[in-house]
A = this chain, B = another copy of it.
Amino acid sequence: MTAITLINSFDISVGLEQLFLQCWKQVNAYLQKKPGYLGHKLHRAITPDAPFRFVNIARWSSIAHFEAAHDAGFRELVDQPAWSAFQPNPNLYEVVHVAGGDWHETVDSR
B-binding residues in A (CB < 8 A):
3-5, 7, 21, 24-25, 28, 32, 37-47, 50-52, 55, 57, 59, 63, 89, 91-105, 107-109
- Copies held by the complex: 2
Find out whether the CB atom of B102 lies under 8 angstroms from the CB atom of A103: yes
Interface of A is mostly: strand
Find out whether the CB atom of A5 lies under 8 angstroms from the CB atom of B43: yes
Closest to A49 in B: B91
Find out whether the CB atom of A109 lies under 8 angstroms from the CB atom of B97: yes
8 pairs of A and B residues whose beta carbons are closest in the complex = A39-B100, A102-B102, A43-B93, A42-B97, A50-B91, A46-B92, A98-B105, A44-B96
Find out whether the CB atom of A97 lies under 8 angstroms from the CB atom of B108: yes
Cα distance A59–B100 when bound, in Å?
9
Known interface pairs A32-B100, A102-B103; 15 further A-B residue pairs with C-beta atoms within 8 A, sorted by A's residue number: A5-B41, A28-B97, A32-B99, A39-B99, A41-B97, A42-B95, A42-B97, A44-B93, A45-B91, A46-B92, A46-B94, A47-B92, A50-B91, A98-B107, A102-B102
